Amino acid sequence: MLAMALWPLKPDRLEEGASVSRRGAFLATLVAFFLAEIGDKTQIATVALAAGYANLGAVVIGTTAGMVLANAPVVFLGKAFADRLPMGAIHRAAAALFAVLGLVFLLRAFISD
Q: Distance between terminal CA atoms of the chain?
A: 22
72 vs 78: CA distance, rounded Å = 10
Burial 59-79 (b: 16+ CB within 10 A, else e): beeebeeeeeeeeeeeeeeee
pLDDT tens for 19-62 read: 667 777 788 888 887 787 777 777 788 888 888 888 989 998 99
Percent of residues, the chain, with pLDDT higher than 70: 89
- pTM for the structure as a whole: 0.53
What is the mean pLDDT of the segment spanning 15-20?
66
Question: Which residues, other chains included, contact 113 with Cβ-Cβ below 8 Å and sequence gap of 6+?
Answer: none
Encode pLDDT of 75-84 as tens digits.
888 878 888 8
Residues ≥6 apart with Cβ < 8 Å to 81: none
CA neighbor of 25 nearest in space, from 94, 83, 79, 92: 79
